[in-house]
Amino acid sequence: MNSFFTVNPTTEEIIREYKEFSLAYIDELIFLADKTFHSWRETTFAHRAELMRKAAAILIERKEELARLMAIEMGKPIMQGIAEAEKCAWVCDYYADNAEIFLTDEHIPTQMRKSYAAFIPLGVVFAIMPWNFPFWQVFRFAAPALMAGNTTILKHARNTMGCALEIERIFRKAGFPDGAFTTLVIGSDSVPKVIGHPLVKAVTLTGSTPVGSKVAEKSGNKIKKCVLELGGSDPYVILADANLEKAVETCVIARLINSGQSCIAAKRFIVVREIYNEFVQLFTEGMKSVRMGDPLDKENLVGPQARKDLQETLHQQVLQSRQKGAKLIIGGEIPKGKGFFYPPTVLSDVYKGMAAYDEETFGPVAAIIPAANEKQAIEIANDNIYGLGAAIFTEDLEKGEWIARNKLDAGCCFVNDYVKSDPRLPFGGIKQSGYGRELSIYGIKEFVNIKTVVVK
């Protein structure tokens, strides 16, 4: 039987060893999830909502404890971990309040006596989730899936297995039946078997684009509904009329949230020539002012990278970009001592062909790209394989909204703010950032049968 270790990215110490579930036990748990589905789907929205609100209350009650677990397992700064637990409670309450409204039969006038669309749960939904938001990524799929009447099984990242098992405990303590939410202690090798299991009806993945391609291929081969939220290299376009001070403040936060390890973190800052030098100066000062260190210290905004291989990959992207001609303003060196830290780093004069331009930099590395004018800035913003989030900064709100709506190729576009997810708004991407939507009314309808019912 295979086993793996979780490692504290701050101290590099082993936290715990986990033994992977056997194939026979995985089958047993999937059968339980399916058995539970057939009774869970018959429960009322009011009953489901009652349990979901209990889960929200547990999250709030234990938010500091859960934030500490996130800090220890993947290095999340503890204040951000507290905020993550609170956001999970929000999504639970949101769907407890709105699921029945969202899934009410939609009557459609025809010549028939009665015709309508009904929203019927599918069954067992399999989720493959990453380490970077170890609670939020799970709750944002689980809350709507469970409220719709589905049951759920989770394959979490191996380095956040403690978080995965804690989420299962939260649902159990809230009163959800055995099999409603199940964590599988498995590695990637077992994923194709779970996707292919005949009792698994749908799949959702948040992760990298290469992994998403494999999951989509396997799901498609089995003709199973799949939602993919993949990588991102979010462009932030700063126009000449932007409030530069406010823009810089927002951009620094956007680049460093979760120590830069977010699919919707700002990655590329595209600045028109008139204000380019001033932006570089102010942005660099902002990045310099940020404290990096032990994520359990509430004063630190940046913690370690989650794993050593991620730290090394990020550094190689910086080195490659410099070799191609990018200018290193600050950072760019792996600190000595314990922990997988990488300092806030600013690269200016970044151009196509450099890793910082073409690839997703999953860490606190900012690429500043000059643009001759507004038209070229938009072209550069869209010159990427990804299309998850984007932002534009301008004092002309009408123009900013028009560009966000009509010109930026992304699933989530913000004007004068950084990209963030919100239970009330649909979330997802285009191009190689994936397909399908999470959250809002659109998220809960991803994993239901939109059934046409006609009575003559």
Active site residue 251: no
- Coil vs helix vs strand at 437: coil
Quick one: tokens of 141?
């799929």
Is 412 catalytic? The answer is no
Burial 243-271 (b: 16+ CB within 10 A, else e): ebeebbebbbbbbbbbbbbbbbbbbbbbb
Contact status, residue 30 vs residue 200, Cβ threshold 8 Å: yes
Tokens representing 246 are 């406010």
Q: In what order do the strands lie in the sheet with 327-330?
A: 327-330, 345-348, 365-371, 266-272, 234-238, 389-393, 412-415
Give, to the nearest 10 degrees, the angle between helix 136-147 and helix 161-173: 30
Q: How far apart are the first and last CA of the chain?
A: 58
Residues near 179 by Cβ (< 8 Å), separated by ≥ 6?
Answer: 29, 32, 33, 34, 35, 36, 37, 151
Q: How many CA atoms lie within 13 A of 268 on its CB side?
A: 33
CA distance 387 to 380: 13
Q: Which of 168, 229, 374, 438 is catalytic?
A: 229
Q: β-strands 345-348, 327-330: how paired?
A: antiparallel
Residue type, 173: K
Exactly one of 88, 263, 412, 413 is catalytic; name it. 263
Residue in 56, 61, 43, 110 with CA at minimum distance from that of residue 453: 110
Query: In which residue are the tokens 């409670």 written?
Result: 89
* 244, 278 contact by CB (below 8 A): yes
- DSSP-H helix ranges across 10-77: 23-40, 45-61, 63-74
Contact status, residue 305 vs residue 261, Cβ threshold 8 Å: yes
Return the active site residues.
229, 263
